[in-house]
Structure 1
Amino acid sequence: MSPKAASDPKRTRPRIALPRAAWAISFATVGVFMGIGVVSPILPSLADELGGSPAQVSLLFTSYMAVMGLAMVVTGWISSRTGVRATLLIGLALIAVAAVGSSASWALGPIIGFRAGWGLGNALFVATALAAIVAAMPGRRSRAITYYEAAVGAGIATGPLVGGLLGQISWRAAFLGSALLVTLSFALLAVVLPRTPRAAEPTSLVAPFRALTHRGLFSVAAVSLLYHLGLFTVFSYAPFVLGFSPAQTGFVFSGWGVCLVFASVVAAPRLRGSVGAVPTVAAALALFATTIALIAVYTENRAVVTVCIVVSGLFVGVLNALVTEIGMHVSPVDGATAAASYSFVRFGGGACAPWLAGWLGEATAPSVPFAAAAGATALGLGALAFGRKSLPPRPRRAVSGEGDPDRATVGSPSTIRG
């Protein structure tokens, strides 16, 4: 080794391999979050074939997210009694069954019902997976969250593409494709993920609600709720405005997802280190709100709407990565409880956006849902200011380049806990 290399700590620092369990959870996360985006390109096809209005078809999003959000409050109670591995596998099994059931349905009502079951499976998986991947990488909480959000972004990015391409065949094929990937994820986790014991002290049902009494966590949850109102309005109503084929819509939202992954993995960590997490979140909220407002102004211009959708992925990627990280660090409760309470507000509250967007578009004008979504996202700045004193402005630096820079602020489990 050359003297220069020996004197450079960045060159001599060994690369840390990602544990097999973390890889398996990340892969399964991709498959699970495909379930959100796989529906967007086929919404117009479902409306045409099954005779539903945009508001009615958007209930596929609403039932999914409403049940997902409400179920978040019981995920800790369940996983602490069954163990993390069992909870993850039960969630994946429910998703696979719901996807197959959606594909076999002949009316909107049953599909909406199956999507509710899909949301329950997602809730069991999502809240548990975030805590599990953090636990699988002890001492590297920020990096674990980055990997998790990258997997989330990859799932959301590939979901519309898979849904659009398979939707060209049939909307049923889109659901079956999602079921196949989730089944594969189930098999992988069953083989790779070690058995985990039940928690010594089972989590209380009221723990997520108690966690929200923390001013900082409540503020972060409110921020996430408000920008998700904007996000799910774009996801559920923009396909009707674009008027593209399922494949074309899939490519648009896949481009959005690529931007999201880049921002989550590359841009967000750098901005967090140079500018600070909270200022970066404030800037991303303002830019995302502005982008949705542009869609409202130029709703009839396909090119502008398409570009705005794709570019907005950059801002959502930064928000997803940093808001999640702040939420996991700011509260004194364990990671699973923080994730459950935060996700309860994010998805439970955001569930109204798809239906409300469809109803507003039908009752008024196509631009109104986007204007309302832009206003809701902008309100996130007020929610951020509300908890400003309780939020960490900048991450702490690691000592000698070891460990997680934020580890000192939050207890981190050394093993996957039940």
Structure 2
Amino acid sequence: MEDDVTDRRSFLRGALAAGVGGVAGASVAAGASAASGGGDDHRDAPPPLRGFHGAHQAGVEEAPLPRTTVVAFDVIAGNRRELTDLMRTITDRARALTAGGVPDGAGITGPPADSGVLGPSVPGGNLLVTVGVGASLFDHRFGLAARRPARLTAMPTFPNDALDPAWCHGDLSLQLSARDPDTVLHALRDIARHTRGAAQIRWRIDGFTSPPRPSGTPRNLLGFRDGTANPAPAELGRLVWTDDGGTFLVVRLIRMLVEFWDRIGIGEQERIIGRARDTGAPLDGDRESDRPDFAADPVGKIIPLTSHIRLANPRTPATAGSRILRRGFNYDRGVDAVGDLDMGLVFTCYQRDIPSQFEAVQHRLKDEPLVDYVRPFGGGYFFVLPGVRDAGDHLGRALLS
């Protein structure tokens, strides 16, 4: 056992050193590559994402990118110092991966410093990294019980859930998002490599967003637009961000019983959701952006009282504070053991307070008609840490200091 601890500590010290060096001269190399025409030559490439540093972590306010992976880790670090080393390493790797550049060269006999998935130069400005902590991190192991963020708990089982423990909770959450799947996989391999011996993957699921078809908000795999009524940017300070620059993340892994759903009429589908499938408009409107007028339809003649949009957001003064910033990603895991399609939604949402926002919405949705066509099977609650402000800062610094 003592040898195992020594090996783990040696690995952590090596990983931390690699994290500091990481991508050799990341910003300098990236600039040199661009100046010399090296790297990927995408003439019509979209503009780069925001930089790594800031009061908030990236990946919350930004519109969802086409590819993502959501990962939960169990921390196996032996003590608080090793946990701090782990958080420094994750920070250094995220900083290097988002900046881009030419990886360090391999030694004569040592393994290469980079997987090579993205070629000899890692493109910068194409990746979002978002890290959170779960309630289980605040147990007896690291002396952090008194520092657990207020209202952070383990995700409970709600009515209509079919949760699989293997797909729930975690000490840490990591979300990697990019425009291309190889960028996501490259970052995951890099972070997993540098944190081996301190954290191990508990569960992971890949997701994607569809392009708008034909316009407006992207669609989920039920065919309906997903995320239409999110709060405006000016409301995020009140509804999403905590005073220290963090936010609470809810992840829900929801299988959609698409073969069953595909057998019911379009009219019934639209009444279950409360919107027209083609346009995304509420059933009493013409455009996706139209606000449903529930007060003018008190008995639900046009938009049923049990419709998803009416229960989730009744649009009353009493429920205005329970709105959430919703981010949905589709997933497809092939088929299950009996040949049914295994696909659905990686639902994520952000808020200042889970009980008064997500849980309030979830309780209103109890036994809605949609539950016959979806099966939540996993996920968890996490606190997305405040952002990394500069090169001397690291994720979780205030928590661990």
- TM-score of the pair, normalised by structure 2: 0.28
- TM-score of the pair, normalised by structure 1: 0.27
Q: Which has the higher strand share?
A: 2
Which protein has greater RCO, CA pairs closer than 8 Å, 6+ apart?
A: 1
**Which of these two proteins has the greater Rg computed from alpha carbons?**
2
Q: Which has the higher helix share?
A: 1
